[in-house]
Amino acid sequence: MKCIPSLAAVALGSAIASAPALADDTYGPFPITEKSYSGDKTDSTAYTGQMARHVLHDSLKKLAGKGDGTNSEEIKAQMMAYYAGKDAGRAIIAPASKDGFPVVQTEVDQISKGKDLKGKTYKGVMTGWPGNMTGPEVIEFMIDKASKTKGGFDPLTGYNYPQLISKFAMGAVFYNQATDNYLDEKLRADNKPNNKPYKDGAYYTGKEHSWDEAFGYFGAPAHALSLDAGQTYGIAKQKSLADADYNKDGKVDLYREMTYAHAYYAADADKAGTDYLHTIMRAFIDGRQLIADANGAALSDAQRSKLVGYADVIKTNWEKVLAEAVFKYAGSVYKDLQKLQVIVESSGDAKKAFATYGKHWGELKGFAMALQAGPKNLGELSVKIDRLIGYGPVLLGGGQVVAVSSSGDYEIGGGQDMGNYMVHMIKLQKLLGDHYGLKARKNDATSEMEDLVKSLGDSLAAEND
């Protein structure tokens, strides 16, 4: 019976996605409906805290690759300032202005003050990482390890910490907060009701701000509906000022005009033909409009039920975006292993190829753990994902990280070899593809096989000899 809400969400999602996108279909502005507010604000939309966390995350990722083997303490302190600190004056390390793509803000506080990532990190145990650690413990452990590497990569284990930290934090902070908190608990009638301000003196109601915060964590520019997947993706890559600069002031506002995190990966999947980004955006805008239309009154059961429907569309499609990313990087790891095998067999220099493999594996593992930090207990699926990926990439001589000792050192073991690990990647893609009914299926390691089976047909035949 569990599949019924999901099916309904997909059906509603398709209907939403097929609705015509108007050029002015942006997330906000929405009117002030909070009755107790008497100030001069005209727009009740507010998700600055979430966008501040996006730049904290981007900056943290950048810092994770800054170690040179001698500056461990300094790098670690900087990373912790962006992960757990709330101090004023923190510069935005990424995304920063570059030629042809100037950004408005240079400090985190210009978007929102006193924000951190640690306080919003999922507190459950992460089974996909060795050491039985909670979400914040995993990130702090990784930060410590990253600070001791050169460029964030550990050649002994194959770990690429910028990727591991970034992708896991995307799930443990943004995805978890949005889907397990704001689009879940905070949609209850008695939690942050719409006929009261979110907090005393606020110019937005409880439900308005809860919805805004979920939207912020998704990481889309407010005008994403007027962009196609390639344009939205290109904004994150800082490729086109024209696409990003919606208000035409010649600069990119990191609060409302930038693409971050999950929106970027939704757009990435959509380049292969899916419509996750616009489906999610449409549901966010329609949900927010529904709340605005209530005009500051408590939502009726019917209104709240409809809002929960929009939330289900967002959650279902968001989960698929993460699954598509795991699928994609399982395919990348498979290809990397194929290349490595050729290099090893010809006794070539595998250093560069191994680093690429580590980078893709970091993205694979980070996204898998992000998926596991969502609102649902994935049960058996989660166990299978962990078993197939393991705790670390399989190393050139075989074996992988199997545990962390009490002193925090990695233990390498296991009889896993590269050929067997390639099979694991195929199985992982099949597992996720079947479970989620994935459509983008980037880097599909067995697509040729499926295409051939389809072209040859597979039917019962009574044709005799």
Residues that bind another protein (CB under 8 A): 337-338, 341-342, 345, 417-420, 422-423, 426-427, 430, 446-450, 452-453, 455-465
Closest to 342 measured CA to CA, from 392, 414, 396, 394: 396
Find where tokens 């008695």 sit: 190
Q: Is the Cβ of residue 113 or residue 439 nearer to another protein in the bound state?
A: 439
| Phi, psi dihedral angles at 91 (to 5 degrees) | -75, 150
Name the residue nearer to another protein (CB basis): 407 or 464.
Answer: 464
d(Cα 26, Cα 246) in Å, to the nearest integer? 10
Could you give the 3-state DSSP secondary structure of residue 451? helix
| Closest separation in Å from C-beta 388 to another protein | 12
Nearer to another protein, 38 or 346 (CB): 346
Q: How far is the CB of 412 from another protein (least distance, A)?
A: 19
Q: State the SS3 of 328-345.
A: HHHHHHHHHHHHHHHHHH
| Chain centre distance of CA 224 | 17
Q: Name the strand (E) or helix (H) holding 443.
A: none
Min CB(395)–another protein separation in Å: 14
- C-beta of 46: minimal distance to another protein in Å? 49
Nearer to another protein, 289 or 338 (CB): 338
Rounded to the nearest whole angstrom, what is the least distance from the CB of residue 419 to another protein in the complex?
Answer: 4
Nearest residue to 276 via CA among 332, 322, 208, 216: 322
Minimum CB separation of residue 333 from another protein in Å reads 13
Of the two residues 1 and 452, which places its CB atom closer to another protein in the complex? 452
**H helical segments located in 161-300:** 161-169, 176, 206-218, 229-236, 241-244, 261-270, 276-293
Of 297 and 426, nearer to another protein (C-beta) is 426
Structure tokens at 277: 């980004």
Q: Which is nearer to another protein, 7 or 423 (CB)?
A: 423
Give the shortest CB-426-to-another protein separation in angstroms: 6
Q: How far apart are CA 379 and CA 456, in angstroms?
A: 36
